[in-house]
Amino acid sequence: MDKIKIGIPRALHYYYYGDMWRSFLEELGYEVVISPKTTREILENGCKCANDEMCLSLKLYLGHIHYLVGKCDAILVPRIDNYGTYNQTCTNFLGLYDIVANLFKIPLLTYNVDETHKETEMKAFIKLGMLLGKGKEQSKIAYFNSVQKVEKEKKKKRKLELEKLSSSKKKLLVMSHPYNFEDAFIGKEIKNTIENLGAISINANALIESNKNDYFEFSSSLYWKYNKDLVGILPFIKDRVDGVLFLSTFPCGPDSLVNELLMRKIKMPYLNLIIDEESGSAGMETRLESFIDILEQKKVR
């Protein structure tokens, strides 16, 4: 008998939890099907399913869901509300399951994370395992094994990113959610352009440590967990890079507020790039080239 295939869209949550999901599900004996890297076709299919008020990142997610339809037995779409009262996620992360369930007639798997109501991540994974017919202890072991694997990989990525700071090239700290900067459609071209211009991109998200968060230097009342994690990198890194690149997708509400706050407070050069489905590469390349030229002239002076 073939293994049950569970689909995972390569968008949004995937860049935070994808490795965790794959490890957990494979430990329980399921086959995992991950959608491919984002293409123009995936974006176009996502735009057909979305409405105009959805951000580009959410449109891409819907495009990846569209790709997985018919290629797996069920698709994992969790509800992730918060990791505590002052660690909220974007409303899209909370409403994603309902959006997908209303747009696509496909079997869905889900789990809930809502720590304000004592629905922790560990409980959620154990419940997911039991929903799939596995025992509580088996699901718990699979969860802890997956956590250990993921933490090892995070440490490796963080070490590689820290090593870039010793380079003599111009260094740009990219303040962006991983589902934007690490996405093949949104971020790959930006990263390549920076490298082609003789500079280096430092991925702020890869530097995040779960036990450190110094966002208080900029605000004591930030609301969104993923933005707080990124902001917490700035005090640690600001004197070790030449400039900051804010990268977000239109029309992201949390990013528009938090990035504006940071741009008013940081004492270093920055560039704000907002990407949508109509954004062209030429304009983006021109802005990056100009910004890196400014950094070079600043150094000379």
Let me know if domain 167-300 sits in CATH 3.40.50.11900: yes
- pLDDT tens-digit profile of 178-196? 999 999 999 999 999 999 9
List the chain domain ranges: 5-151, 167-300
Predicted TM-score (pTM) of the model is 0.94
Helix (H), strand (E) at residue 243: strand 243-249
* pLDDT per residue as tens digits for the range 63-118: 999 999 999 999 999 999 999 988 999 988 889 999 999 999 999 999 999 999 99
Domains 5-151 and 167-300 share a fold: yes
Rg (CA), the chain: 20
d(CA 209, CA 247): 21
Long-range CB contacts for residues 261-266, cutoff 8 Å, separation at least 24: 261/218, 261/219, 262/175, 262/218, 262/231, 262/234, 265/218, 266/234, 266/238
pLDDT at 211 over 60: no
* Poorest-pLDDT segment among 50-59, 108-117, 174-183, 271-280: 271-280
User: Where would I find the H helices in 136-184?
Assistant: 136-163, 178-181
Sheet holding 243-249, edge to edge: 199-203, 170-175, 243-249, 270-275
Average pLDDT score over the chain: 92
Tokens of 146: 């997956």
pLDDT for residue 65? 98
pLDDT (mean) for 115-131: 96
Distances, alpha carbon 31 to alpha carbons 6, 22, 34, 37, 210, in Å: 6, 9, 10, 19, 29
> Considering only CA atoms, which of 11, 4, 12, 15 is closest in space to residue 203?
15
Residue appearing with tokens 């802005």 = 287
CATH of 5-151, one of 3.40.50, 2.60.40, 1.10.12, 3.40.1350: 3.40.50
Cα 181 to Cα 290: distance, rounded to the nearest angstrom: 20
In the sheet that holds 74-76, the strands lie side by side as: 31-34, 5-8, 74-76, 108-109
Residues 6+ apart with CB under 8 A from 155: none
| pLDDT tens readout for residues 138-170 | 999 999 999 999 999 999 999 999 999 999 999
CB 245 within 8 A of CB 270: yes
- Look up residue 44 and give its two tokens: 């176009």
**What would the 3-class secondary structure string for 109-141 be?**
ECCEEEHHHCECHHHHHHHHHHHCCCCHHHHHH
Task: Give the H/E segment covering residue 238.
Answer: none
How far apart CA 136 and CA 129 sit, in angstroms, is 7
What number is the average pLDDT over the span 215-243? 87
Q: How confident is the model at residue 1 (pLDDT cuts 50, 70, 90)?
A: very low
Flag whether pLDDT at 57 surpasses 70: yes
